[in-house]
Amino acid sequence: MKIGFIGLGIMGRPMAKNIIKKGYTDLLVTDHHQENIDELVACGAKQATEKEIGQTCDVVMTMLPNSPHVKSVMLGESGMVNYMKAGQVFIDMSSINPVASKEIAAELAKKGVEMLDAPVSGGEPKAIDGTLAFMVGGKQEMFDKFKPLLETMGTSVVLCGDVGAGNTTKLANQMIVACNIRAVAEALTLAQMAGVDPQKVYEAIRSGLAGSTVLDAKGTMMIAGNDKPGFKIDLHIKDLTNALDCGHSVGAPMPMTASVREVMEWMHSHEGGGKDHSAIAQYYEYLTGIKIGR
């Protein structure tokens, strides 16, 4: 199987490396940054243009920032739709608006090209160790065929419905994560201001109902004052914006999502957009003058 991989950013690089490690060595890659391409070539991939990928690969995979980027690569003036042919498959692992996923799938279908939308959850650490969670939308037949490929990068690969269902599920995931992170920041701020060690609070509650992957991964970062990005606030703003757009289109009430996005927008405006989303805690530090754990 010849695979094309477009988008070698924070997530895409380790994901592409894991594809190679698991035996899919006929991998063609491209990215806007040559150093990212060089890193993958050193691992055994081959550099190619988007046109070459579209013309020659059995499956084309993208890991790009947002809907406009994916639509440009696939449907733009020199997009993949101009080069791909019946029998090829497109797997988009980007987190985008499900409406855009359906639009892309409809255009590709005119060429006989199948599509899966397969966004991921887990951030950079899980991209590196190959334990991402894939939320997939598309036909059962295509899902069954390409599930082993996705399993080179993740340990959970679930078909959620037709094309668009993967990104709808990812938006739900991002809503829950964002609200959970904010709740952790708020709770640990309360503990600090009430004179209770946030570390002790974390140790006491992590095995109870309040325990979660978010508490373990992000609460500890807040306590340590570590805002090195595993998933940037600006990227989470993008996801929550897509979630709100989707919610508005179907009439879903989303006041919590709107509120936490505003906190992230505040962080963006105060030079925090490039920080890890756990840096929401710094919003509370600004309001109170108190630093969690310090």
Active site residues: 170
- CA 184 – CA 215 distance, rounded (Å): 7
Cα atoms found within 13 Å of the Cα of residue 169, Cβ hemisphere only: 22
- CA 157 – CA 65 distance, rounded (Å): 21
- CA 250 – CA 221 distance, rounded (Å): 36
First-to-final CA distance of the chain: 53
Beta strand ranges found along the chain (DSSP E)? 3-6, 27-30, 46-47, 59-62, 89-92, 114-117, 120-121, 132-137, 154-161
